[in-house]
Amino acid sequence: MSYSPPNPNQYGAYPNPYNAPYPPPVPQGHGIPSAPGYGPPSGYPSPPPSYFSDHHGGQYPAAYGPAVPYANPSGPIIQQPGIAPGGPPGGWMNLPQGIPNCPPGLEYLTTIDQLLVHQKVEVLEALTGFETKNKFTIKNSLGQKVYYAVEDSDCLTRNCCGPLRPFDMKILDNYRNEVIHLNRLLACDSCCFPCCLQKMEVSSPPGVLVGTVEQQWSLCCPSFAIKNTSGDTVLKIEGPLCTMSICGDVEFEILSGDGNVRVGRISKQWSGLIREAFTDTDFFGITFPMDLDVRMKAVMLGACFLIDAMFFEKASGSNNSNSFL
């Protein structure tokens, strides 16, 4: 028994290849077939035949354009957040941008009014008493690293001259670029020799003098003058009568140029009984006005290192050399 196919007018034609219209309609959402005999349905605009060639001879559709290298959408990387090449790991302060007339590397100092200076513990020096090169980490009040400093001196002067030794101090950023250079000459620190007192020159960038720290003659309390490149006294530093750290901080007051207004301080912080007794590893805090010129802030950092060398650096084979006289 055979059945005739249903009447198309009654039920509708089955969708099969034999009764489908030719060519078949293009499904929505799919591309247009490129086989011969097919073409775009009426009412569709033809795609623009816009192609162009690059300098290598290759062709690209205009809708995509030539291949371009990837770019950082946030601009060039100014500060890497992790480990700097060759430097200590982690926690570095971001470099402020757009600071006019600022020596390179001193941009960090424009947004801070406090610095923390931590000296690194040298195991060989603690065990043997053999004086090694001092190293420091310089941080802001949030604990972020700003610079690190490395002493440059020879073995003979370190172990023979002790706290009076001449040295250069290189202050580096996290890319190991030297941004501040300190130079301390060999001189006395006694009130008996007023013509040959301590002096430190501060340069930023290295080779460009920005100021000096000069010891002033004083009979009882240590005194220093912070001078600019013209030799004018911008700030003064007055120390206490006793500079020995005995279970407490030792504070050096930073005064205005006329000496009437206190504007900050350099504080030698108590680092604990064991550190104080067996090492010369010191902690310092420096505070200064936020709007102080960055060059003078760099000179204040140099003053901190000079004070450390004069009053808190132990002589080789001795327990303490903090006597001012």
The reply to whether 137 falls in a domain is yes
- Report the relative pairing of strands 59-61 and 233-238 from DSSP bridges: unpaired
Q: What is the predicted pLDDT for the residue at 25?
A: 55
Residue 203 maps to which CATH number? 2.40.160.200
Residue 215 to residues 188, 238, 265, 269, 303: CA-CA distances in angstroms?
10, 10, 16, 22, 10
Is residue 245 a contact partner of residue 312, using CB atoms and an 8 Å limit?
A: yes
SS3 (DSSP) at 261: coil
The reply to whether 152 falls in a domain is yes
The residue count for the chain: 325
The reply to whether 242 falls in a domain is yes
Residue 49, pLDDT > 50, answer no
The reply to whether 319 falls in a domain is no
Band of residue 53 on the pLDDT scale cut at 50, 70, 90: very low
The reply to whether 29 falls in a domain is no
Residue 209, pLDDT > 60, answer yes
The reply to whether 124 falls in a domain is yes
The reply to whether 99 falls in a domain is no
Report how far Cα 235 is from the mean position of its chain's Cα atoms: 26
The reply to whether 286 falls in a domain is yes
Q: What share of the chain is helix, strand, coil (3-state, %, to 5)?
A: 15, 25, 60
Is residue 280 a contact partner of residue 191, using CB atoms and an 8 Å limit?
A: no
Q: What is the predicted pLDDT for the residue at 272?
A: 66
Nearest 10 degrees: Cα torsion 121, 124, 128, 131: -70
Is residue 184 a contact partner of residue 167, using CB atoms and an 8 Å limit?
A: yes
Which residues touch 181 (CB under 8 Å, ≥6 apart)? 168, 169, 170, 171, 202, 203, 204, 205, 206, 207
Nearest residue to 157 via CA among 173, 147, 146, 168? 168
Structural domains in the chain (count)? 1
d(CA 216, CA 239): 11
Instruction: Give the domain range for residue 226.
Output: 106-312
* Stated pTM of the model: 0.67
pLDDT tens string 60-100: 444 333 333 333 333 433 443 334 444 445 689 998 988 88
Q: E strand or H helix at 267, and its extent? A: strand 262-269
User: Which segment, 11-20, 96-105, 121-130, 136-145, is predicted with the most confidence on average?
Assistant: 136-145
Average pLDDT of every residue of the chain: 75
Helix intervals (H) in the chain:
8-11, 123-128, 155-160, 273-278, 294-307
